A and B are shown apart, each in its own frame.
Chain A
Amino acid sequence: MTALGIAAAVKSGERTALDVLDEHLARISQRDTEIGAFNLVLADEARTAAREVDAAVSRGDAVGPLAGVPVALKDNLCTRGVPTTCSSRMLEGWRPPYDATVVQRLRSAGAVIVGKTNLDEFAMGSSTENSAFGPTRNPHDTDRVPGGSSGGSAAAVAAGFAPLALGSDTGGSVRQPAALCGVVGLKPTYGAVSRYGLVAFASSLDQIGPMASNVADAAACFEAISGHDPLDSTSIDGARDPVVAGLGQGVNGLRVGLVAELCAGSARLQEADGLDGVSAVEGVAADVIGRVDAAAAALEAAGAAVTVVSVPSAVLGLSAYYLIAPAEASSNLARYDGVRYGLRVDAANAAEMNVSSRTAGFGAEVKRRIMLGTYALSAGYYDAFYAKTLRVRTLMLRECAAAYAGVDVLLGPTAPTTAFELGAKTADPLLMYLNDVCTIPSNLTGHPAVSVPFGCGDDGLPVGVQLMGPALSEPVLLRAAAVLEKAAPPDGNAP
Chain B
Amino acid sequence: MSRAVPGREPAVPEDWELVVGLEVHVELSTATKLFCGCANRFGDEPNTNVCPVCLGLPGSLPVANAEAVDCAMRLGRALGCEVRGAVFARKNYFYPDMPKDYQISQYDQPTNTDGCLELPDGHTVGIERAHIEEDTGKTTHIGGGGRIHDADYALVDYNRAGVPLVEIVSRPDIRTAEQARAYVRELRAILLAIGVSDARMEEGSMRVDANVSVRPTGSDELRTRCEIKNLSSLRALGRAIVYEAQRHVDLWSGGERPRQETRHWDEANGRTTPGRSKEDADDYRYFQDPDLVPLAPAAETVAAIDAALPPLPAARRADLAADGGGAVSAEDAALLVERGQDDLVRAAIAAGADPGVAATRVANDLAVEDWAPVTPEGLAALVAMETSGRLTATQSKQVLAEMAEGGGFPDAIAERRGFQAMAGDDLAAAVDQVISENAEAWSRFCAGDEAERKKLAGFLTGQVMRATRGQADGAAVNRLLGERAGS
Interface residues, chain A, with chain B CB atoms under 8 Å away: 76-78, 84, 86, 91, 94, 96-98, 100, 195-200, 202-204, 230-234, 327-328, 330-331, 334-335, 337, 339-341, 350-351, 354, 374, 377-379, 382, 386
Contacts and interface: CB of A to CB of B under 8 A. Distances in A.
Contacts of B290: 202-204, 234, 328
Which of A100, A234, A335 lies at the interface centre, i.e. has the most chain B CB atoms within 10 A of its CB? Answer: A335
Nearest to B62: A233
Nearest to B149: A349
Contacts of B156: 339
A94 B57 CA distance: 10
Given A331-B92, A351-B94, A379 B59 contact: no
B52 interface: yes
A350 B56 CA distance: 18
Contacts, number: 97
Interface in B46-101: 52, 55-64, 90, 92, 94, 96, 99-101
Interface in B124-158: 154, 156
Contact of A379 (B100, B283, B291): B283
Given A76-B59, A98-B52, A386-B287, 19 more contacts: A78-B58, A84-B58, A98-B60, A195-B61, A197-B59, A200-B58, A232-B63, A233-B64, A233-B291, A339-B156, A340-B55, A340-B99, A341-B57, A350-B96, A350-B154, A374-B285, A377-B92, A379-B285, A382-B287
Given A331-B90, A379-B283, A339 B60 contact: no
Given A331-B90, A382-B287, A96 B57 contact: yes
Contacts of A96: 52, 57-59
A282 B99 CA distance: 43
Nearest to A341: B57
Interface in B289-343: 289-293
B102 interface: yes
Contacts of A354: 94
Main secondary structure of the interface of A (DSSP, over half): loop
Contacts of B291: 200, 203, 233-234
Given A78-B58, A204-B290, A233-B61, A337 B96 contact: yes
Interface residues of B, number: 30
Contacts of A84: 58-59
Nearest to A78: B59
Contact of B61 (A232, A337, A374, A378): A232
Contacts of A350: 96, 154
Contact of A331 (B52, B61, B63, B285): B285
A377 B62 CA distance: 22
Nearest to A375: B285
Contacts of A203: 289-291
Nearest to A196: B61
Contacts of A199: 58-59
Contacts of A202: 290
A230 B63 contact: yes
Contacts of A337: 94, 96, 101
B279 to A, nearest CB: 13
